Chain A
Amino acid sequence: MPVTRRAPSIRALVIVILVVAALHVAAIWAYLALGVTRGAAALVGETTPVLQVFEDLHHRADAMQGAVRLTVAPLPTDSAGRFARAAETRRRMAEVGGPTAALPFATVPPSMRVPLARASDELSRLQNILQEFAALLELGRVTDAARRHAQADSLMDRLHVYFGEAQEAGLRDLLSREGELSATASRAVVVLGWWFATGVMLLAIVFWLIRERVHRPLGEMEAGLRQVAAGELSTRLPVHRTDEMGRLATVFNQTTGVLRERAEQQGRYAAAGELMAGVAHEVNNPLMAIASLAELRLADPGLSPELRDDLDQVRAQARRAAKLLSGLLRFVRPSEGERTDVDLNGALGHALDLLSYRLPVEGVEVERVLAAALPAVRCDPTRMEQVFVNLVSNALDALRAIEPPKRLLVRTWAAGDRVYAAVSDNGPGVPDHVRERLFVPFVSGKDEGSGLGLYMSRQIVREADGELVYQPGGDGGALFVIRLPAVERPVAAPDRRPTPATGVPRPMPLAGLAVLVVDDEDSIRRVIGLYLERRGASVVAARDGSEALRRLEDATPDLILADLRMPIMSGTELYRALERDRPELVGRVVFLSGDLTQLAELGQNHGVPPERILAKPIDLAELERRILGVTGGEGRSDGERLATGPSTR
């Protein structure tokens, strides 16, 4: 068994991948923003004031040089000249500005601060000397003023030195910063390279993770689902890890296991159904023979009352058994899925008939409140009957748990454009823990239930555009209500024509009718032949299809009453032969068989109309009525009379 590895969930994995991706992106952003951009911005921000200081120093040096030159030039001796020179000196000093502006300490590199500070001090002193120079000129002390020239010149030289030192320091600082920026750019290239390589590696890891953790399990899941869709219910998926995909695979395996188990169960049911169909055919023939013989005997007016009562009982019980068998066959017969107009009362009645054997045994009282003239509904009749069987069967199961009285109520009614049918009981009702999941597949309130009954019932009703709902019953039991849309056309009224009373002499309605009875059962041939002859028909019998064909070479009957399942040549083969060789006789064939499955195929595969398909067992009177219906109600007087063959009796 492969080992299932413990692994973090895919959700956690996705979160980790997203976080790592975000960190990876954030890392390069942070590096560029903090390590490169901020450094570059700082360089620009600090370079600008340095350049401004350079420009300012040049301007000041020039202005101050101009002012100092005024002390060198020949000094005027006249009062106006002296005052003019003094005023000019002050003007030049004003251009230089105060010392404060020469102290941008906070914005320049530290290496520039000392020379700038010294320059500022010298500038203050130089301005004061020039001011004294101007003052001496104004006082007429030209000689003293001239002496200030040496001081001013010396200070100017020192000022130049300090300005130069400041500029040199600033330049060195700028060059240093440029070198730092260049190194930063080089580092950025390397870092970006590593970042890219790391990204590629992370991407490869992510791809690998997605392939291993998502893509591959999904592929296996898809393949598994395809196999299941193709009917391979033994499909199992490998569970690699304990993550979400592993849990999905586990659930998948559990689901296919359940499906496989259900399929096996359904297969057994289907096999039982097929077996039942075969058995039914074998049982129908004797049942029909018994009932028909009893009916024939009952026609004898000379019977003693005791014997007549006994024969009545024989006929009634045979009919009852035949009815039950017929219902079972109808129930297990594969549905054709054809939607027709259906009388819910009829479908409900059939379901109750089917389960009628349980009612007296389990002491259940059935109350039927069926609406008269109920509008038809459009659905598959067989499947709708299945729904009612499920509901009634569930009700009967529930009623087992309680003491008498056990009541089962079935109702039908119409309201507006809807037709309703309800099945309720006075049982314990549906447990609370089951109620919410009542219509979920494989959920059952019974120990041995398949859990599919109510689910399928609801699906069937919904396919007919209706709804099946559960309501707690008023007396504590369960109430299931079916709601279906009504069709406008009401259900055709059942044929209420009275069946001819047995034992009463009747006219000969089949007089002149030539009938070929084809059946491998002697008893069936015999009783049908006897009955038809008593009703005026001339009957020729054949044991199988091939004998029937030989009989047809001698004469042409008005009606061919053929069984389906016969040795040598079946009824279907006979029909095909007639289609091929005697097509004029095809329309005279009426099939009578206990194999309802084959009967159904006749309509689908050969286009035989329903009125010419009769299911065993059938009342002889009903048989007569159907024969009259097929032949137009009259014996064929113009037909060639059949030569009486070997006795059927």
Chain B
Amino acid sequence: MSPQGLFPRATCLWLAVACAPAEPAVIGVAFQGLGVDAVAVARDELAEWTSPVHLTFDTTLMGDPADIEVARATHIAKTPGLAAVVGHGSSRGSLAAAPVYHDARIPQIVPTGTSRLLEQAGPWTFALAPNDSVEGAFIAEYVAGALAARTVTIFFVNDEYGVGLRDGVLAGLHARGVVVIDEVSVDPRSDFSVVVEASLQRGVPDVVVSGARWVETGAIARLFHARLPGTPVVAGDGALLMPDLAREVGDAASSLVVVSFWLPDAPDSLGHAFAERFRRVIGREPVGTHAMTHDAIMLAATAIREVGSNPDAVRQYLASLGIARSPYRGVTGPIAFTPGRRTNFVMTRLAGDGLVRVSDP
């Protein structure tokens, strides 16, 4: 080819590449069933954007073994055009998936995982929720303050979420002089009547704290309601899967309070708009997990819109929030991945299939 012909052809090729429509950036979402609703709402909101952001969703199941989460993360990381991942559902799942995303150099935003180990998972992992020590301190403050408990029994799932929350609560209670009678690990297959009965033999607590999920928390609340009516059961955010928790706890709902990251009665405009959109799209009330997942998805989409679909640029954008950039304004409040960031815990109780803010124990 003559040099005279090479230049125009190269110019045409460059123009063809430069003018080709940009491939939509992909955000992978790996979350439990609640995430489906959040993704639907996010899609509805993103449809109003001009920036092409595509969401791909992979449902996780509560209690999925870590190896399943690893395999799931490996599959998601191979998605073409993947710019960021929101997930996975639990602390254990998120921790198991984190090295996969780290190796693939894909930023991972964990919406609801609270394990403090997430903070050590590497520069590609960003935990949206406060860690378990912060949540544990919140619960301990409520138990020792509002409930004025002097003795406590802790039930927890024997994974990163439950162990982390247990440790956080223990630290908070010890600091306030509350005696912890017993620490019992459970899982959905546990013989709850046995472990509760044995625990009661070791001591009767003023308050029960549950660092477990909705199945374990419901069973424990029901058993304590039957044996010691009126004994308050305070559960961490991991139990908050509605309406499953309400169905599982049954009549014991009156003695159960649960930590939530957000409530739809939030007075700010963003929260109000999200709740309105959620009701319109899904047809029922959103809960804190919806809001957290929605914030994580929209944060990833905003990062892509701001800095492009390059995963490293997205990571740098996330790391710069609260430092070089203003915190992201999310439904659950300002979001920045800096130490000592603000937390928005709300203590709630069940009201039908929904939650209401606890104003008085």
On A, residues with C-beta under 8 Å from B are 98-100, 103, 105-106, 110, 113-118, 120-121, 124-125, 127-128, 131-132, 134-136, 138-139, 141, 144
Contacts and interface: CB of A to CB of B under 8 A. Distances in A.
8 contacts: A100-B164, A117-B70, A118-B66, A118-B67, A124-B159, A128-B190, A134-B198, A138-B198
Given A117-B70, A135-B197, A127 B121 contact: no
A139 B196 CA distance: 11
Report the interface size class on chain B.
Answer: 35 or more
B149 to A, nearest CB: 23
A143 to B, nearest CB: 13
B65 A117 contact: yes
Contact of A135 (B66, B157, B159, B198): B198
Contacts of A138: 198, 201-202
Contacts of B122: 106
B237 interface: no
Interface in B166-203: 184-187, 189-191, 194-195, 197-199, 201-202
B71 interface: yes
Contacts of B95: 103, 105
Contacts of A121: 65-67
B158 A117 contact: no
Given A113-B70, A118-B67, A124-B187, A139 B198 contact: yes
Given A106-B121, A132-B194, A118 B201 contact: no
A141 B98 CA distance: 43
Given A105-B96, A124-B185, A132 B191 contact: yes
A100 B117 contact: yes
Contacts of B100: 110, 113
A117 B69 contact: yes
Interface in B132-166: 157-160, 163-164
A288 to B, nearest CB: 96
A99 to B, nearest CB: 6
Given A100-B117, A103-B160, A135-B195, A128 B96 contact: no
B48 interface: no
A38 B38 CA distance: 44
Contacts of A127: 158, 185
B70 A128 contact: no
Interface of B: 65-67, 69-71, 92, 95-96, 98-100, 102-103, 117, 120-122, 157-160, 163-164, 184-187, 189-191, 194-195, 197-199, 201-202
A128 B159 CA distance: 11
A135 B196 CA distance: 9
B160 A100 contact: yes
Nearest to A144: B194
B185 A128 contact: yes
| Interface-central residue, A105, A115, A127, by most chain B CB under 10 Å | A105
A41 B340 CA distance: 35
A106 B187 contact: no
Contacts of A116: 66
B65 A125 contact: no
Nearest to B192: A132
A116 B66 CA distance: 9
Q: 6 closest pairs, A vs B, by CB?
A: A117-B66, A135-B198, A124-B158, A117-B67, A114-B67, A105-B99
Nearest to A108: B99
Contacts of B103: 110
B202 to A, nearest CB: 8
Nearest to B115: A100
A132 B70 CA distance: 30
Nearest to A136: B194
A353 B212 CA distance: 129
Contacts of B157: 124
A115 B191 CA distance: 27
Nearest to B102: A106
B190 A139 contact: no
Nearest to A114: B67
A109 B103 CA distance: 11
Contacts of A98: 158, 163
A131 B195 contact: yes
A573 B198 CA distance: 151
A118 B65 contact: yes
Nearest to A135: B198
A135 B187 CA distance: 15
Contacts of B92: 103, 120
A115 B187 CA distance: 20
A106 B95 CA distance: 9
Contacts of A113: 66-67, 70, 96, 99-100
Nearest to B164: A100
A99 B98 contact: no
A134 B195 CA distance: 9
Contacts of B184: 131
Contacts of B197: 135, 139
A105 B191 CA distance: 31
A125 B187 CA distance: 7
A105 B94 CA distance: 11
B198 A106 contact: no
Given A100-B163, A114-B71, A139-B198, A106 B185 contact: no
Nearest to B122: A106
B99 A117 contact: no
Nearest to B201: A138
Given A99-B160, A105-B96, 13 more contacts: A100-B164, A103-B92, A103-B95, A105-B99, A115-B67, A117-B65, A117-B70, A121-B67, A124-B158, A124-B187, A128-B186, A132-B191, A139-B201
Contacts of A110: 99-100, 103
A131 B185 contact: yes
Contacts of A134: 198
B158 A139 contact: no
